[in-house]
Structure 1
């Protein structure tokens, strides 16, 4: 995963790298994880395979390093899921991979009419920040 994509996910997700960020939906920290998603990532050994271990605590989400590790792992899994298509992986990060797969099943990708504007806008915002750095 490109480190700048990872950086701008944090910036966009947490409104400027706020480690104590909490969304109205309950997502926490700089990476804005829902607790179930973070727990799954912390306790898995392969994509989407959940283990009965306890490598997770909510405090991880407020720890910049631990949260970033989970965020990088999640993006890596999403990039694998969506064949390296960054725009699709970003929609998956924001909407969830299962919902994103539903949006993309027609093969049209991010610009499909099935993808709600808020998820397209999220992907665009991360990539717009990224493109400013890579000019």
Structure 2
């Protein structure tokens, strides 16, 4: 059946929140945590989602997900609470569909002024090929 495919979930949090909550703004670090977690288990990250208050039944979550084989992972419940409209409804939907949901756990990285500046630069730069849609 092949390796377990992971959908990594990160929160989409406005750059204006960088000083108040840098980890929720830093989706790249969130995805890196998920990738390390998956690699340690021999899993493959198949998709990376960056979402905010997404409904648990939204098709973007479930597109191509194979029950019993695939799983969702997020760095923490806190990230899931930002990314999804209801973590409880999402975990119930995962259970109903036969898909696991996990969190990485562990400590969030510390953000000093330099790290915040790097995140700000990265997120405030235009994306290559962005067409405005």
Q: TM-score, normalised by structure 1?
A: 0.27
* Larger RCO (CA within 8 A; separation ≥ 6): 2
Q: Which has the higher helix share?
A: 1
Q: Which has the higher strand share?
A: 2
Structure with higher Rg: it is: 2
Q: TM-score, normalised by structure 2?
A: 0.27
